[in-house]
Structure 1
Amino acid sequence: MSLHITGMIWARPTSDLDPQSGEAFQPDHIAELTLAHEAGGFDRVLAGYWTNAADGFLVLAHAAAVAKKIGFLIAHRPGFVAPTLAARKLATLDQLTGGRLALHVISGGEDADQRKDGDYADHAARYRRTDEFLSVLRRTWTADAPFDHQGEFYRAQQVWSDIRPRQPGGIPIFFGGASPAAIGVAGRHADVYALFGEPLADTAGVLQRVREGAASGRDIAFSWSNRPIIAATEKQAWEKAHAIRERALAKQQTQGTAGIQAGQAVNSQRLVGLAQRGELLDERLWTAMAGVLGGRGNSTALVGTAEQVARAMLRYRKIGVSHYILRGWDPLPDAVQYGAELIPLLRELAAAEDVGRVSVAAA
């Protein structure tokens, strides 16, 4: 099975542990962070979507200008850009990056956050809209003649795009969401289904639901997100983890956000539920930060030495995970550490496991 590692970049220094500082768009920071991931052996970097942050299309365009090998994953929320225009924007960026682009579709789990960009559609409507958006998007990329579309959310006549993705198979689509509506959309459209860092048994259950909901003949890959905390010894790794929690709590106290509530999104509620089950699950999956952050974003952590964390990650590979999204708590130094200590070992152990499986099969 293949192994893909994705990191994350921002337009300025960003952390759950320290207040943001400086200009909202810092090209030098984008370049430094992207190049650190490229040097560390990451396959892709993700530019997320936030209602207060710099535009991801332009962040990735700048990253692509300085990093010539690493791939890119852009987060996009349907509903704010017509799918025909989004198709051309994405195809243009794929051409600009030399075919290194993937799309991470986020329907939106928080009503209040959606309204910051003027979207008042409810949860169910957002997923119906995403379904229609992705159908029009793919058709725009592949149509051999102009077409008309009339649906619940979009209507267009004589749609045609001269620019197409550089990748022959089109731009890969990542998709996340744990609600039944999300699972249904994933089954029809996702090339890679992305889920947050849950325990093995919980993860296996979600993978099974997605596989059962997949349209006939569709083979979906799976991505698992985590924020590893590694150190030379397990004791030092746990000391580091506890220091991270203290820094996050101190930041919340400073900003007056202590005791934040669980997010509205189903994924957020699932992560908070994990924290309520226990701070430590599956030997080294630390859930405490999911409780501190209200389950928002990628907020669980595997804690231990690089080898302990790598072996824990590979247990997910045995149940079908082939992609990992790794985001550090201190993004730049953690990306450097992952590249130096974790990723080479992870690839080495995965290759050894693959050789072992081939040998057993041959025997």
Structure 2
Amino acid sequence: MKMLWFIPTHGDSRYLGTSHGARVADLNYFKQVAIAADTMGYEGVLIPTGRSCEDPWTVASSVMGFTQRLKFLVALRPGLITPSQYARIAATFDRLSGGRLLINLVTGGDQAELEGDGQFLPHGERYAQASEFMQLWRDIMAKSHTGESHDFDGKHLQVKGARLLYPPVQRPYPPLFFGGSSAEAHELVAQQMDTYLTWGEPPAAVAEKVEGVRRRAAELGRTLSYGIRLHVIVRETEEAAWAAAADLVSYLDPEVVARAQSTFAKMDSEGQRRMAALHAGKYNPENIREGLEVSPNLWAGVGLVRGGAGTALVGNPQQVADRIKEYAALGLDYFIMSGYPHLEEAYRFAELVFPLLPLSVRERLGQPSLTGPFGEIVANNHVPSANSAANSTGKTAAASEPSVLARAAS
């Protein structure tokens, strides 16, 4: 089980769909989120792509030096830059980061956005182009370790004597991640990717998708790993978590929801269609769970105005941990999480939920052993007890757990 966080290069806020409570998303903020994720023991961070985002490769390169172990899941869009150039970019980042690059292939999105970037191919042809792109990219990266050059003559792409002189640290190339719900997406991931990602649908739907990809990969003699992309709203009690979810959409204008859903409906993404189908644009400010809690503790409210991943796990620490373990039982290894605002929630999720994950995961997420008291010293003399607050306030057992740092020291 590998836990990743998210760097919000398209902006961050305490509230969805409004500028109220928004904060400046600049290098200093991205750096803070990355350092928080690195400090708390996350495996890595996902950095998104699209015209609504800062460039992911520039952001990853800018914050890389402020972290020690954190990996960077960076988006790669086929068809916008040549495979040879992308191979050099990826190999350089992998070398300079000490082998901390993960690649997230992105083929879909808003058709208007794609056309603005010069990509006019329809859905099926985009996948055919992406398949050629990845085959060429993989061959160039793999042959860089032996100094070989590579020729390729496909329908969409051609190179002659492509050669990468500085190979990546990871062999044969950095791990490849891909998410998609269409038949073309499943075929591409089964053939060429290492990890299949799904957005946060109910467990039964996720199980069906994973099984389909697993079966197709097995027919090709390949074995993949699997992951899920989710938001999370965790608080010490279930009531507080749902109150936080209501607060997140408390400034949401129904007209903004309608405009967002109209935009999403124009996309040719099967994954976006499935996200929208979970809530059908229904929003009742008086009862934010009505029509939006699509599975126990799985809330589709984020997708009312946010494209892509639109569901969140909502609940107390034990409930969120149980839902994560439920997905893990389906064969999922990677959990890419996020929450609003991303800096504070990176700490909250780690402190409340990491202690409830399986022991092997807790040990891997633990930080270097530190000695000394944890928490503010009481009256300049007394070391605070981990259990005293829980005994006096009646908070959940998970809330009384020591922090990740404290557990690592114990």
Compute the TM-score of the two structures, normalised by the length of structure 1. 0.88
Q: Contact between 1:17 and 1:244, CA under 8 Å: does it hold in 2? A: no
Deviates more, 1:4-13 or 1:175-184: 4-13
Q: Contact between 2:200 and 2:309, CA under 8 Å: does it hold in 1? A: yes
Task: State the match for 2:2 in structure 1.
Answer: 4
| Gap change, CA 1:5 and 1:17, over 3 Å in 2 | farther
3-state SS of paired residue (1:66): coil
1:102-148 Cα offsets, whole Å, 9 max, x none, are: 00000013211211212111111111111011100110011242221
Mark the runs of 5 or more structure 2 residues left unpaired by the alignment: 283-290, 364-410
3-state SS of paired residue (2:245): helix
3-state SS of paired residue (2:250): helix
Q: Quick one: distance in 2 between partners of 1:311 and 1:94?
A: 35
Mark the runs of 5 or more structure 1 residues left unpaired by the alignment: 353-363
Max Rg structure: 2
Task: State the match for 2:35 in structure 1.
Answer: 35
Q: Is 1:224 matched with 2:237? A: no
Q: Contact between 2:17 and 2:251, CA under 8 Å: does it hold in 1? A: yes
Task: State the match for 1:314 in structure 2.
Answer: 325
RMSD after superposition: 2.4
Q: Contact between 1:109 and 1:266, CA under 8 Å: does it hold in 2? A: no
Q: Contact between 1:11 and 1:29, CA under 8 Å: does it hold in 2? A: no
| Gap change, CA 1:54 and 1:282, over 3 Å in 2 | closer
Task: State the match for 2:403 in structure 1.
Answer: none
Task: State the match for 1:182 in structure 2.
Answer: 185
Q: Quick one: distance in 2 between partners of 1:22 and 1:351?
A: 32
Q: Quick one: distance in 2 between partners of 1:222 and 1:171?
A: 16
Q: Contact between 2:76 and 2:105, CA under 8 Å: does it hold in 1? A: yes
1:64-99 Cα offsets, whole Å, 9 max, x none, are: 111111111101111111001101110100001100
| Gap change, CA 1:248 and 1:44, over 3 Å in 2 | farther
3-state SS of paired residue (1:229): strand
Task: State the match for 1:112 in structure 2.
Answer: 112
Q: Contact between 1:41 and 1:343, CA under 8 Å: does it hold in 2? A: no
3-state SS of paired residue (1:228): strand
Residues 209-358 of structure 1: matches in 2 within 5 Å?
209-214=212-217, 216-249=220-253, 252=256, 257=259, 260-263=262-265, 264=267, 265-276=269-280, 278-290=291-303, 292-293=304-305, 296-348=307-359
| Gap change, CA 1:227 and 1:161, over 3 Å in 2 | same
| Gap change, CA 1:10 and 1:228, over 3 Å in 2 | closer
Q: Quick one: distance in 2 between partners of 1:66 and 1:55?
A: 18
Same amino acid, percent of matched pairs: 26
Report the alpha carbon displacement of residue 157 of structure 1 after superposing the two structures with TM. 0.6
Residues 149-168 of structure 1: matches in 2 within 5 Å?
149-168=152-171
Q: Is 1:93 matched with 2:93? A: yes
Q: Contact between 1:12 and 1:22, CA under 8 Å: does it hold in 2? A: no
How many pairs does the alignment contain? Answer: 345
1:18-60 Cα offsets, whole Å, 9 max, x none, are: 4397877x22112111001112221001111121432211111
Q: Quick one: distance in 2 between partners of 1:22 and 1:237?
A: 22
3-state SS of paired residue (2:357): helix
3-state SS of paired residue (1:81): coil
Q: Contact between 1:51 and 1:116, CA under 8 Å: does it hold in 2? A: no
Task: State the match for 1:14 in structure 2.
Answer: 12
1:161-183 Cα offsets, whole Å, 9 max, x none, are: 11111013420000011000101
Residues 137-152 of structure 1: matches in 2 within 5 Å?
137-143=137-143, 144=146, 145-152=148-155
Compute the TM-score of the two structures, normalised by the length of structure 2. 0.79
Deviates more, 1:77-86 or 1:267-276: 267-276
Q: Contact between 2:194 and 2:224, CA under 8 Å: does it hold in 1? A: yes
Task: State the match for 1:197 in structure 2.
Answer: 200
| Gap change, CA 1:96 and 1:14, over 3 Å in 2 | same
Q: Contact between 1:109 and 1:123, CA under 8 Å: does it hold in 2? A: no
3-state SS of paired residue (1:30): helix
3-state SS of paired residue (1:10): coil
Q: Quick one: distance in 2 between partners of 1:335 and 1:224?
A: 17
Q: Quick one: distance in 2 between partners of 1:221 and 1:247?
A: 39
1:298-350 Cα offsets, whole Å, 9 max, x none, are: 11011110111011110011110010010112211111211221233224496
| Gap change, CA 1:135 and 1:299, over 3 Å in 2 | same
Task: State the match for 1:360 in structure 2.
Answer: none
Q: Contact between 2:241 and 2:315, CA under 8 Å: does it hold in 1? A: yes
Q: Quick one: distance in 2 between partners of 1:226 and 1:240?
A: 16
